[in-house]
Amino acid sequence: MKPKKLKKRIQQLEKRLREGSEKLARLRSKLQQAETARALKAARKSAARVTASGGKKSPGSTGEKKPKRKLNLSPERRAQLAAAMKARWAAKRAAEGNSATSSDQNSPPPPMQPPENRGDGV
């Protein structure tokens, strides 16, 4: 390759590297601005929540879980719901069985029948 061509290529590469570093610096500053804006917004939101609740903290904000509410069901209604759910699950399994191939990963392979040995050799 001729020296003039080499010089030109080197200049182009240097220019591209300079522009690339400038662009990278611009993008980094934009990212920094976006992060600080998001942090300010979150801080404003939490402050607004505290003032709206009158300074009281809700039970969920302290990290505590509310105890799960026990349903007040009669034994008949409980049995009825259990039967309905079992029917729903069975229908779902049947639908999955129809759409999936017969070699499902979770189900065991079907039993193989031994070949019949005939005396006449057919």
Minimum mean pLDDT among 11-15, 71-75, 80-84, 116-120: which range?
A: 116-120
Model confidence, pTM: 0.34
- Where is average pLDDT lowest: 1-10, 30-39, 60-69? 60-69
DSSP characters over the chain: --HHHHHHHHHHHHHHHHHHHHHHHHHHHHHHHHHHHHHHHHHHHHHHHHHHTTTPPPTTTTTPPPPPPPP---HHHHHHHHHHHHHHHHHHHHHHHHHS-SS-SSSPPPPPPPPPPPTT--
